[in-house]
Amino acid sequence: MKTYLSYRDISNICLELALFIHAGAEGGSALSLLAEECDSAKLKASLIDMSKSADDGKKLHEVFSYSGLFPFDVCQMLKVGEETGNLESTLRALSEYYDRRDTRDKNLRSAILYPSILMLVMATVIVLLLTEVLPIFNDVYASLGVTLSGGASFLLKLGESLSLAMPLLIAFVCLAVVFLIAFSASQDFRSAILGLDAPKAKGLGKKIYAARFASAMSMAVKSGLSPSQCIDTAAALFPDGSPLAKMCAECSRLTSGGEGLADALRKTELLPAAECSLLALGIKGGNTELSAEEIARRLDRDADEAIDKKVSAVEPIMVIISCLLVGIILLSVMLPLVSIMSAIG
């Protein structure tokens, strides 16, 4: 998988370039100024090389493309921005878009990482109780002439089975830890794991991809693209041949054939009906850009709320189940002790 800059770095670079260009700097000079402010030695060297390429006459989108640091959609949007004379607006739109993606990526990482770690720790505690603690109690009771029966006997046998499978369990835990570290550290790995297909996904997955599509469309609208170009730009964010890409292609076909953008989005179900109505009103009132921005904000908020709701529902359930399991294990070994103490008394 191709490794690009982080969403945060892309957002910052685009915003700072927009500011330098607004101040009158040319592409090469803007990149040179950006390199002077860069803390990362590797990124600084890349920006200097990009500055030299721009000074040699290459256009900004070509410089970005040759650097290999930026995704296709960034280079494509810059190309459109240069061709239409809206380079500064395009850079600002890209900055806002990748800022949203960075926020969403962090929210998803937290939503998946914390419950996963909690589940792994709780499972480890339960396995240790079954394989290490329960046999000790069994030996103590055996020395007193008491044998575990019922649920305690079943748990003891389960612990023995887990002890035999301990090498596999340790290997599984190690793989889980490696997975969680990679998931936490690598943006590209998270993107691959979370690459859900929106039309097939339900609930959270669909909300996330609707928000991503709306943000991309808002970015394209701010860059001054036509309706069909806006859809084509958003379609570039999704894998070729995926259902979502096919929906974008159908929507682009409708807009190219004279269908209104809002109607095309409603027919293809790329956006919810309420958001399509808002976009239609914005287009009618000459406020397409503001409407697209508001739609992106709404869907971002909906996706964030859906993520928070999932996390808030999963954590209590996991804690309750784990507490119940630990309680059952402890009760199963303590009840015989109560019987013994009663007999002695």
Tell which residue, 316, 312, 319, 332, has the closest CA to residue 125.
Answer: 319
Query: CB atoms < 10 A from the CB of 295, how many?
Result: 27
Rounded CA-CA distance 131/79 in Å is: 62
Q: How do residues 139-170 score in pLDDT, each as one tens digit? A: 777 777 767 667 777 877 888 888 888 888 88
Residue type, 309: K
At 192 the pLDDT is 64
Question: How far is CA 35 from its chain centroid?
Answer: 29
CA dihedral 124, 127, 128, 129 (to 10 degrees): 120
- What pLDDT score does 148 carry? 67
Q: What gap in Å lies between CA 259 and CA 166, rounded to an integer? A: 63
pTM of structure = 0.71
Give the pLDDT confidence score for residue 197 in this predicted structure: 45
Over 50: is that where the pLDDT of 240 sits? Answer: yes
